[in-house]
């Protein structure tokens, strides 16, 4: 369920391809999410919270790569991340 938003980005990629500014905005939000979640996860004492922030950080990295690489690699990264969970 956590990766549903990232999967939605893949499904809506033809719409986002029309306006390249949306790709930039998605990547900026993903980068900020990854940075905030990783820095918040560093100061947590509870293991459950560390894993939650790690998950948010990884999803932020996936969104950050949305702008830079092809959608095939983006989807593979999503599947590789989601498979063990």
- By the 8 A CB rule, do 53 and 40 touch? yes
Is 0.95 surpassed by the pTM of this model?
no
Please name the residue that has the structure tokens 């938003």: 5
pLDDT tens figures, 28-67? 888 898 899 989 888 888 888 888 888 888 888 878 877 7
The answer to whether the beta carbons of residues 6 and 65 sit under 8 Å apart is no
Q: Where are the domains of the chain?
A: 20-82
Q: Which residue has the tokens 């959608």?
A: 71
Q: Provide the phi-psi class of 46: left if phi over 0, else alpha when psi is between -120 and 50, else beta.
A: beta
Cβ-in-10-Å burial (0-12, 13-18, 19+) of 77 comes to middle
């Amino acid at each position: 369920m956590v990766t549903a938003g990232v999967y939605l980005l893949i499904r809506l990629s033809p719409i986002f391809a029309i306006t390249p500014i949306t790709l930039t905005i998605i990547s900026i939000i993903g980068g900020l999410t990854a940075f905030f979640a990783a820095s918040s996860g560093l100061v947590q004492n509870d293991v459950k919270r560390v894993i939650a922030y790690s998950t948010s950080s990884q999803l932020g990295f996936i969104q950050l790569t949305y702008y830079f690489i092809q959608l095939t690699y983006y989807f593979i990264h999503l599947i590789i991340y989601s498979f063990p969970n």
